[in-house]
Structure 1
Amino acid sequence: MLLGALFFFVLLDATAKHLGQTYPVPMLVWARYAAHFALMLVFLGPSMRFRLVATHRPARQVVRAVCLLGTTFFGIAALTRMPLAETTAIVFAAPLIVTLCARPLLGEHIGVLRWIAVLIGFVGVLLIARPGSGLVREGVMLALGGAFSYAAYQILTRQLSPTENPVTMLFYTAMIGTLAMSVLLPWIWSGPMPGWRDGLMIMSLGAFGGIGHFLLTRAFRDAPASVLSPILYVQLVWATVVGWIAFGHVPDGAAMLGILTIATAGAIIAIDSRRVPAAGRHKA
């Protein structure tokens, strides 16, 4: 289920990258959340009803949803300017940022190994975004914005997950994203009117995102996070393969080394975190 979720996320990114050459990014972001919201209402609304919005911490749910909305916006905007693999790798620096913030915000003890992994990971980012890499500076900054937004989203997810229903958390991201972008819709709806083929591709953004997040939620419900977290970096493999097949782009040697470095650093952090429960959950 997790591998399937990661593949759907890459399909979402690749489709958004393709559509972003013709349609404005805000319109694509609106379509991604509106379709996701509609799917949840149709398939879960009749059975869950008010349980979809029942939460003990509504304000934090809203902030978390806004962070994911920012991740989506920055990510798609970066994808219109940069290759799929490099953009995905920079956004995947988010766990490194989470590690930096873990002690002050989550009260987690961070050992030497994880600090080393953070340094290694940021070296990977520099390898990808190095001078002479051919990447647009604006695209790199947008991807880093996506990484910081995603890091905030992950931190809030950790804070909410012990007490909140995962489906409710998923619904809030879809609802808040749809409402926020719908308010702006009169100002962001521009460009050519989509034909039936582009229209289906635009609607698929919500389907890919919704199915991906559903599979992700189910995977983390059925298996320990400590087992699944290192597997998340398979998304970098999917992104590289799909970027080659769909857009004919293969990262150069330094960029590929940077992608592998970020993946290795993230995997070290994920595997090292598995020792925390066994060591008595060292927390400040």
Structure 2
Amino acid sequence: MPRTPAPSAPLTHQPLRGLLLALGATLLFAYSDTTNKVLIEDYNVPLVMAVRYIGHCLLMLALVAPLHGREMVRTQRTGLVWVRAASLAVGSLLVGFALERMPVAETTAIIYLCPVLVVVLSGPLLREKVGPGAWVAALLGFAGVLLIARPGGGLDPIGVMFVLGNVMLATAYNLLSRVLAHTERTMAMLFYSALAGAVGFGVLLPWTLHGPAPSLLQVGLFVSLGVAAWLGHYMFTQSYRYAPAALVAPMTYMHLAWAGILGWLVFGHAPEPVALAGMGLVALAGIISAMRPRRGQRPAQFAAEAGTTERAG
């Protein structure tokens, strides 16, 4: 007999629980960025990415595979699933190269152009209605990035190019997430994303596995990368089960605050006032995009779609 898929967990109205899950997820995302930058000071970027993705993949095989079985590997549009997964892996690599040259807070802020671009491009590419609010958000977002990456602002131009490359790949990743959501299971897409990075960066290990012998602290940081990546995305997805998107989506911009705090605590870097203003504009643009009402869309449907806009890094 064919296996009957388990029913989806019901949505419940527990807004405080949802907000706390989102807050914890953004802290884990900022922790991952900061840990990446710490490790990249002593190890090459592909090696750090390999450890992160292999750890993430092993966690899914150990904790998720026993519950979901073949559903975790079954796909209908396999080619697009792999393209989406590759976009995430290459985007992560570009963020690593950016963090070699740029502070955590500024890098994170530029990455948050992605949700705005997803909204704007969903019109011509996905035939969704895009109103004037989306264009206002896009202009605010680009103005914010110009303030952050302005000439004379001290940011490395090559680092800025790397992070903008990540934004393009993250936009493709999220648009493909929306396209594939109609036919593919969420756990399958999450697994293939982890698998693509584990295989892609794992194949390079014979050429990237070099550097000083890690200390106990560095071993702990390496192990924590995969855990933080998996747990952060899980908590963020779960937050939409307990609170509406209009509450959760603005909370994702706490990632910028956490990145700024951790960057200051670990590296002693505090963004300049002009850069802080740019970060505020990017956050405002994202909040406008997230709260943009969609004609004829039920709240539960809106929450489900809002949850598909993820970071790639």
TM over 0.5: yes
Task: Please provide the CA RMSD for this pair.
Answer: 1.8
1:231 counterpart (245, 248, 251): 251
CA distance in 1, matches of 2:187, 2:119: 26
Counterparts of 1:18-167 in structure 2, within 5 Å, are 18-167=38-187
Note if 1:244 corresponds to 2:275.
no
Q: Which amino acid counterpart does residue 207 of structure 2 have in structure 1?
A: W
Task: List alignment gaps of at least 5 residues for structure 2.
Answer: 1-20, 302-313
1:12 counterpart (32, 39, 42): 32
- How far 1:61 moved relative to its partner? 1.3
- How far 1:227 moved relative to its partner? 3.9
- How far 1:99 moved relative to its partner? 2.6
Identity %: 41
User: Are the counterparts in 1 of residues 120 and 134 from structure 2 also a CA contact under 8 Å?
Assistant: no
Q: Which amino acid counterpart does residue 121 of structure 1 have in structure 2?
A: G
Q: Which amino acid counterpart does residue 25 of structure 1 have in structure 2?
A: V
User: Are the counterparts in 1 of residues 94 and 163 from structure 2 also a CA contact under 8 Å?
Assistant: yes
Q: Which amino acid counterpart does residue 86 of structure 1 have in structure 2?
A: E
Note if 1:259 corresponds to 2:283.
no
Q: Which amino acid counterpart does residue 137 of structure 1 have in structure 2?
A: P
Q: Which amino acid counterpart does residue 102 of structure 2 have in structure 1?
A: M
User: Are the counterparts in 1 of residues 43 and 211 from structure 2 also a CA contact under 8 Å?
Assistant: yes
Question: What SS is found at the alignment partner of 2:221?
Answer: helix
Partner of 1:214: 234
CA distance in 2, matches of 1:221, 1:63: 28
Partner of 1:187: 207
Note if 1:178 corresponds to 2:210.
no
Task: List alignment gaps of at least 5 residues for structure 1.
Answer: none
- How far 1:224 moved relative to its partner? 4.0
Of Structure 1 and Structure 2, the greater helix share is in 1
Q: Which amino acid counterpart does residue 163 of structure 2 have in structure 1?
A: A
Partner of 2:297: 277
Q: TM-score, normalised by structure 1?
A: 0.93
CA distance in 2, matches of 1:152, 1:252: 31
CA distance in 1, matches of 2:235, 2:190: 11
Question: What SS is found at the alignment partner of 1:277?
Answer: coil
User: Are the counterparts in 2 of residues 243 and 250 from structure 1 also a CA contact under 8 Å?
Assistant: yes
- How far 1:254 moved relative to its partner? 0.5
Q: Which amino acid counterpart does residue 142 of structure 2 have in structure 1?
A: F
CA distance in 1, matches of 2:202, 2:180: 26
Q: How many residues align?
A: 280
Q: Which amino acid counterpart does residue 125 of structure 1 have in structure 2?
A: V
